[in-house]
Structure formats: C-alpha cells, structure tokens
Structure 1
Amino acid sequence: MTQPFADAALAPYTVSEEECAAIAAAIDTDELVELALTLGNIPSRSREELAAAMHVHDWMKAEGFRPRLVGATPERPNVIGEYGGQGIPVHGGGANLLFTAHLDTESPSGIAEHDRFRYRESTLADPEWSKCWLDEEGRLRGYPVSNDRGPMSCFLIATKALKKAGIALAGKTWITACPGEIGPEPIEEFSGIAYNGKDIGAHYLFHHGGVAPDYAIAAEGTDFGLTWQGCGYALFKVSIFGQGMFTPILDAPEFAAEHPNPIYRLGAVIDALHAWGQDWERESVMETLSGAIHPKVQIASVRGGMPIDFGAGTEVCALYIEVSLSPRRKAAEAMHGITAAMRGLDLAGFEVEPVVVRHGFEANPAEVAPLVGAVAAATQLTRGEELQPAHPVYSSMWRDHNVFNMHRIPAVTTGMPRWRPTGADLASSALVYALTMLAICGRAEGGPASDGPTSVYGDNESPF
C-alpha cells in the first residue's frame, strides 16, 4: 500500500468546524490586504531591512504579541513575537510551533555600479521591484508581497484571529520576521558582516532568539502545496590562468584556443562546465514522498582583467558557477566533478574554489508527519481539498525551513499562491495557518491566553 503524502488524522489536535468558523470570522480580509501592501511598500532590499522590521515589531506590540528584536547588527534585526504557551492542553496538542518569513525582497541591489552589470535599464525601471498595489482585477502586485511579506502578513493576521476569537493555545507559537534570506553572500572584496545574508537571519534567530520549537513553518508562496525538503547551493570560482602580453608586441594566433590571454579560452571552458552541469542536474533529481527536487546549475558571473589597465590583456579570469545541492548531495561531489571537467581542457592552469557552500536538508518523514497532518486538516477545512506536494521549483531552492531541518526541527514550507494572489487567497492562507497553529499547539483550558510574560525576557526587550 502506498504511503499517503499527508494524513490529516495525525494532527495532534482535531479542530472542530465551530472553531474553524470562529477563526474564519475573525480574519478581516481588508485588514490583511492592507497589512500586506503596507509592509510591501516599505523599502527592504537585502541589507536595508530595518524599517520593515520595526513596522512588524510595532504591529506585534500593538496586538499584544510581546515582540523583541534579536540581531547580529542593530541595522538588521530579527523580530520575534509569541502567542500562547501557558495553558493545559484540551484533547491533544501542546507542542510549540514557529513561523518565519523574510523581510528582504528580491531586487536589484541599489548600487548603481553593480546593477548596471546585471540588468537592462528597462528591467531596473520595473515598478514591481519596490512598489505594491491592488490591481483592477483584485490581484496584489509587487514582488515584496509575493516574496515574502504577503505570507508574513498571513501568519500575523492568523495569530490575531486566534486571539480575537478567544482561542487560547496550550503550546506556544512564535511568529518571526528575519533579514537576509535572499542574500547577499560575503565574497572576495565584498566581505564581512555588511554582506552577510542568511547567517544573520534564521540561523541567528535559531541560536540566539530564545526559541525552542517542536516544529517550524517557513511561510512562503507555494500555491498552497507543501514540502519538507529543500536544496542548498554552492558557488564555485573557476579561475583560468594564462599569460599577459603587451598588446603592441602580441602576435595573435589563428585559433583562440592558442591565445595566451585566458579570456580567449572561456568558450571551451563554458562548454565543458555546461556539459558537466547537465549531467549534475540529471543525476541530482530526487523523488520522495515530499515531492520532486530538480537541482539546477548556472554560470552566475565572469571576472577577468581590469578595464582601466588594458595594455597587456590579463593573466587571470574566472567564472562563477552556481550549483544547486539536493539534500542528499554535498559540495565536495560538485567540486570533484568540476575539477575533472576542467582537467580535460588544454589550459595553462586552473583552480576551482568553493566560495559559498550551503547544503540542503530534508525532514524525517515520520517526525514531520504530525505537522503535515495539521496542515492537511487545515487545508481540508479551509479549502475543501486535499493537501498536495509543492511544485518541484519550491523544493529545489533555498528556503529557511532548511535552517530548522538542519537542526533536527521538523519543518516545512507552505503558503499562498506565489504569483499575483488575491485578497481571498491571502485570507485562505491565513486561515490555514491559524488552524495549523491550533492543531499543533492545541487548545488550552480557561479561555484566551494571558497577555502576561511567557518567556525569560519578561516585558523587557533585549534588542542585541
């Protein structure tokens, strides 16, 4: 008999139709859309998350979720709020659940000297990089809403709905907003904490945020699907060496492969890396109960020579190749493969260096089953349909559920439609999140949860 993807019966607490109706009635779709658009319209590129973080902090404080700021630097804090965790469970539940979403948004860097080497002017002018609005068809536009302040708004309003409906949680739900999920990464001269991405986000929150969840959900757009696995990635610098030659005395050879300038060898190197990448992609495909993973490979950038010093070509140029790492592959395997591909070329010399390494992770299916069951039960109650595995694209990228699975906390990623959601989509996602909170944490005896202290921090914030 085939094992089902999701068994709603495994949810620790069974949410009643009456509870579902009460929570649904407490979700104000207009308020949810307004929150998503407000957050989305606060500029929050990587390394510029502070204003958005403070808005989330102030919202949590106004709603009684006792937020605190925990950051590696004052400019890029994690925001951590909480609800529940004081009562005696009624008929199951009592576990602790953490929700996370990221404050930074995919966008050009804002550094003109960098962006003009990556984007066309028409692309830089796209308003959806930084502006969000409700269009004439009732769909939310703007990349910040899609990734990731729409899903963030959904679990914020979900928590408010539980409180508004007077439903106390026996276990605790942490609601968190993190910087740096998208990037950047410290590389070469762009090094140091100013260029840190993931290390000061969910990684830092896990170790220093005062949280100890039994389960975690990375709230991201998945078109209401779910996966408990995710890819990591590595960036390899492939340096090619040659000989500088003063241009006036250069006798150019007939064939590019014989040129002393290593830039002329890039065609053969690209062909070799592309062939290796296609093999890596085919060999890395994973099919599991959680769905499929299709890792990808792409050359991300090229550096060679110095345009202000052009009199003698260059002795060094480099390609930077991004390699997706499934949860069952290591960066070392990719490095060996790239090195072997390069050895087959006629070059004066080369070097392969892993400049970024982040492995992928997956939850243990048995350990994550209660959480998947809770989301399945919530999906059935909310949407009248069975929970499905997320599309492979959502399990073939980095998302912050990897951080928790890395540390043996069963974690998934699940959420609203990624592209152009409606207000109804957001409300549906918020209800799924709220019902999942109740199904995992369980209902506490004695009515609404107290607004009193529930952590070692008391009522005093500890920013850093």
Structure 2
Amino acid sequence: MTGTPAPFADPMHAPYAVSAAERDAIAAAIDTDELVQLALALGNIPAPSRSEAAAAQFVFDWMQREGFRPRKVGATPERPNIIGEIGGHGTGANLLLTAHLDTESPSGITHQDRFRYREATLADPEWTQCWLDEDGRLRGYPISNDRGPMSCFLIAAKALNKAGITLAGKAWLTACPGEIGPEPIEEYEGVAYLGKDIGAHYLFHHGGVAPDYAIAAEGTDFGMTWTGCGYAVFRVRIFGRGVFTPILETPERAVDHPNPIYRLGPVIDALHRWSQAWEAASVHDVPGGRSVPRVQIASVRGGAPMDFGAGTEVCALYLDVALAPRQKAADAMHGIVEAMRAVDVEGFDVEPVVVRHGFEAEDAAVAPLAGAVDAATRLARGTPVERAHPVYSSMWRDHNVFNMHRIPAVTTGMPRWRPTPADMASSALVYALTMLAVCGRAADRPAVARAMSVYGEGAAPFET
C-alpha cells in the first residue's frame, strides 16, 4: 500500500555505511521462527488500552533475558513504558525505536460497546487472538497494530548481538501504553482514561532517553513518512426545549420540532458540507509524506432513555477532525461555528474537548535517518524505500511526539495487514540495518567485554 517510488531519501546521507558482509551476518542471525513465536506470544496477551500491564511485563522479562537492561517508567504503575537499550560503546548518533502495547479493540465497557458494535463484531476473535493461518499469514489485530513491528525491532536488536556487531551510538527499544487511546471526555475522565499522555509523551520527558532520531515502528507496507496528522474532537451541542409528551403539538415539519434531536438532519448536512470543504483544503503534500485529513461524526448523545417523558433540551454530536501538520484546532473550530450559524436551531455551542496537533520533521534534519532507512531497505529488500501511502501520514502515530520536540522521526515498518513470516523477517532486517546505519559500529565485542569488566556495565570508555 505504498506510494509511487520517489528519491525522497538518499542512502548517502546515512551516518554509517553498512557493508554487504555486515548485512549477511545480521540476516543470518535473524531466526524467523523465533520472531513469529515472539509475535504470537506477545500478541496473544490481551492488552486493550488501560490494560497493558501483562504485555508490558512480558516485554520487560524478554528484554531482561536478552541483556537489554530494561526498566519501567510509568505515570501509573499498572501502565508502564518499558525501556531497553543496546550499544552506546563509542561515538555515534542515538536512535530510539518505539511501538505501542495497546491494541485497537472494543473498550470492554459493556454499556458502551453494545451501542457501538454489532454482536458479530464484538465476537471477532482477531481483537484479542493471533495465529498463523493456513495461507501462511499472521492474523490478529495485536500483531498488525502494533506488537508485530515491536517484535521485529526486538529481534533486530538480538540479531545485532548474535552477529557480534556492537553499536557506537545507543539505541533505545521502547514499548509504550496508550497510543491508540482513549481520551478523557465527559464522564470518562481522569488518569484512568489517559492515552497518549502516559505513553511516548511520558517516555520522552521522564524515560531517561536522549535520542538524535526516532522511529515509530508501525505497519507501513515498508514505506516511510516523517509527517503525521493530529486531531481534534469537537462537541457540537444543539439546544431546544423539552415538552411533556401528552401536551406536545406535533409540528408538520421535523425541523420545527422543539426537541433538538429532530434538528439533527439539517445540522448533519451542514457539518457534512463543511467537512468536505475542510478535507479538500487541508491536503498537505510534502517530500516526507502526503496527509489527507478526514472528518467523521464519532458519536451522538441526547436525552436519557430512562427519563423519557418530555424529550430533551440538549443533543450533542462529537466530531472527529483530523489536523494536518501546520493546522490548528482553531482553524477547524471557526469553520464549524460558521457552518452551525447557517442552521435553523434554537441555539448551539461548539467546544474542542480533545486537541492534538500534527507534526512533521524538517527535511534536512531527518535526512540522515531517512537515508539510513533507505540504505537498509536497499540492502535488505533490494529496492529503495518508498514514500508511504497517504493513509499512514494522515493519522496519529508516535513519531509526532518526537517531531514535536525537534527530534527528527519517521514511521516505517512491515505490511500492516496480515504479514507473512518472511515479511516480518524482512522488517526485522531493515530495523537492524537501520540501527547500525544510524548508530555506527563500535569496536569488536571482546574489546567491549574487556572494557565493561574494568569500567562496569553500561560504560563507554572508548570511542571508535
């Protein structure tokens, strides 16, 4: 699902030139069966947003066994970020790789899910189960989004160690909670409903990391982008009058009804027209990616079903608006208010209940990282990296967190939908070669071992 090949990344910009011999050694160290088993074991741990603890512990234990010196850093103890590391034994750039632990799924709040999903959808096993099907493809949303890419960079780091390749710069391997969501809105408020704030945001500020570059490891069909959309959720409340049903004089036209629920038709039409104009005007096409922001009504609330005798005075729509980089929530809010002013309602208000802006890396600043991914893709897959399909630069991914803080970051990874074991092994090789191309190679491992015996674990007493 990648775009047209484009020379938007130059392998000559990679900080370190990986040799064919190094590629072969790393490729030989990647055990595809081990990678698949890791992805399946990790993917089959239920971890919807707000319930990532078991998956986080699995990653921590795996990193500890493999010698990546993991630690837990969390805003709350039950939703930690897991941070491991490799390298740092010379002079080289530092790279952070991140993927999220939580998986798209129904919320688990029964009274909420039954009004959002059909029963057959709730029963779909791919929400929580992962397996290798008869066609040789990995099934299950936890692998697709996002513990498959996480498994790929974990095995990539292990392959570097197995191949005896020591990184000069440091690479952080991180697993974060809450990238998918949720967001605190209305009565679903407080720390329990925090999403992105306790994940990569918290990791960046409190995780003891100082990357020169970052990669959000997610499915992109092997494409790459360094731009990403944000979003805002606007609550549009429509006001009317509650009238006791036995005394209601039913109007001929629905739009003349005092109950604001009856005004939803014209309101939705007006918001839909605005959203079409917003989408057309918001396309953001730059070398690092093409963003095509979309708009959708996410939910509607009005009245109380157990208190039905007089209709309702308030009805609310929740409008999910994607924001391209360089757009502000205020830009959308002005348009929504203008659209609502043209609708015949007794009253309304518009409030942004969630705001997250999108970001992009500067082309020149990200060039070394993009060049490293391109060089790695050429070595691993025999083709230049392509600019990712616009869908991958039209959503939130955690490279936004790092670009927000002036750390050049991209998102890149395996096929998003039902990858094969070979796809995952190829992605692991790309990540491993990228780590080497960014961080550079330090002295041989025996020298590192001797130095660590003198200076202690984690020391970097010499340079390349």
Per the TM superposition, whether the score is higher than 0.5 is: yes
The alignment partner of 1:216 has SS state of strand
Matching residue of 1:81: 84
Query: Who is 2:342 aligned against?
Result: 344
1:54 to 52, 57, 60: 57
Identity of aligned residues (%): 76
> 1:211 is matched with which residue: 205, 209, 212?
209
**CA offsets 1:91-143 (integer angstroms, 9 cap, x no match):** xxx00000000000000011111100100001011110000000111100000
1:21 and 2:24 matched: yes
Q: Which of residues 87, 103, 106 is equivalent to 1:105?
A: 103
Question: Which amino acid counterpart does residue 265 of structure 2 have in structure 1?
Answer: G
Unpaired runs of at least 5, structure 2: 1-5
Q: How does 1:45-444 map to 2 (within 5 A)?
A: 45-87=48-90, 89=91, 94-444=92-442
CA–CA separation in structure 2 for the residues paired with 1:454 and 1:256: 71
Q: Secondary structure at the match of 2:258?
A: coil
- Tell me the residue number matched to 2:42: 39
Q: Which amino acid aligns with 1:171?
A: G
Shift of 1:446: 3.4
1:157-198 Cα offsets, whole Å, 9 max, x none, are 000000111111010000000000000000011000000000
Could you tell me whether the CA contact under 8 Å between 2:164 and 2:444 is conserved in 1?
Answer: no
Q: By how many angstroms is 1:445 displaced?
A: 1.6
Whole-Å separation in 2 of the counterparts to 1:446 and 1:59: 25
1:454 is aligned to 458
Deviation (angstroms), 1:455: 8.0
Report which stretch shifted further, 446-455 or 154-163: 446-455
Partner residue in 2 for 1:459: none
Q: Which secondary structure does the structure 2 equivalent of 1:218 belong to?
A: strand
Letter in 2 for 1:247: T
Secondary structure at the counterpart of residue 106 of structure 1: coil
RMSD: 1.2
Q: Which residue of 1 aligns with 2:3?
A: none
| 1:223 partner SS | coil
Per-residue CA deviations over 1:365-409 (Å, capped at 9, x if unaligned) read 000000000000000000000110000000000000000000000
| Between 211-220 and 3-12, the greater mean CA deviation after superposition | 3-12
Q: TM-score, normalised by structure 2?
A: 0.95
Name the TM-score, length of structure 1 as normaliser.
0.95
CA–CA distance in 2 between the matches of 1:358 and 1:291?
19
Instruction: Point out where structure 1 has 5 or more consecutive residues left out of the alignment.
Output: 457-464
CA distance in 1, matches of 2:234, 2:105: 23
CA shift for structure 1 position 454: 2.6
Report the CA distance between 1:29 and its aligned residue.
Answer: 0.2
Q: Give the alignment partner of residue 13 of structure 2, picking from 10, 14, 23.
A: 10
Q: 1:308 to 1:455 in 2, by over 3 A?
A: farther
Partner amino acid for 1:17?
Answer: A
Change (3 A) 1:424 1:58: same
Residue 20 of structure 1 aligns with an amino acid whose one-letter code is R
TM-fit CA distance, 1:453:
3.3
CA distance in 1, matches of 2:444, 2:145: 38
Q: 2:7 is paired with a residue of what secondary structure? A: coil
How far is 1:328 from its partner?
Answer: 1.6
Aligned residues: 449
- Give CA-to-partner distance per residue, 1:203-252, whole Å, 9 cap, x none: 00000000000000000000000000000000000000001100000001
Shift of 1:149: 0.3
